[in-house]
Amino acid sequence: MQKRMGEAVARVARKVNDTVENKTDSLDLANCKLMTFPVGIYKAMRSVTEGIHRISLANNELKSITSRFVTTFSQLREVPTEKLASMASLRSLNLRDNPVGPEVRLLVRPLVPFDLLLSPEEPVPEA
């Protein structure tokens, strides 16, 4: 078991290092068996976080995303809204003060089994 955990940590480290060294705009942490977002990533990526526009966390075991994640990676441009309805354990999603377009609001609203918090100045259109 420790060997598998070590391999998973090494995989995450390689992916983070590749992103930092190549200054790419995306970080792919899919299939890394993450249960939490590793705190060490914030420090390792501090020189490139403003340039990260996409992060894939697909197929992990994440229970929550902290506010530090959202404030550190504030330039994200993609949120896979079509996947939100399949997240059975999700209870709340706060997208206030983010540029969420009306088309996304119309698409997501009928599908969400959780509280979707949006900015009050942009009411959710009726479907």
Give residue 27's pLDDT band: very low, low, confident or very high (50, 70, 90).
very high
Domain boundaries, the chain: 1-78, 80-127
Distance between CA 31 and CA 53 in Å, rounded?
Answer: 19
Q: Is the pLDDT of residue 48 over 90?
A: yes
Phi/psi at 28 (nearest 5 deg)? -105, 105
Q: Which of 17, 85, 87, 88 is nearest to 57 (CA)?
A: 87
Q: pTM for this one? A: 0.68
The reported pLDDT for the residue numbered 29 is: 93
What does the pLDDT look like over 55-86, one tens digit per residue? 998 888 888 788 888 889 888 887 666 666 66
Phi/psi at 54 (nearest 5 deg)? -145, 135
- What is the CA angle 8-13-17, rounded to 5? 150
Q: Is the pLDDT of residue 6 over 80?
A: no
Q: Is the pLDDT of residue 111 over 80?
A: no
pLDDT average, residue stretch 101-108: 61
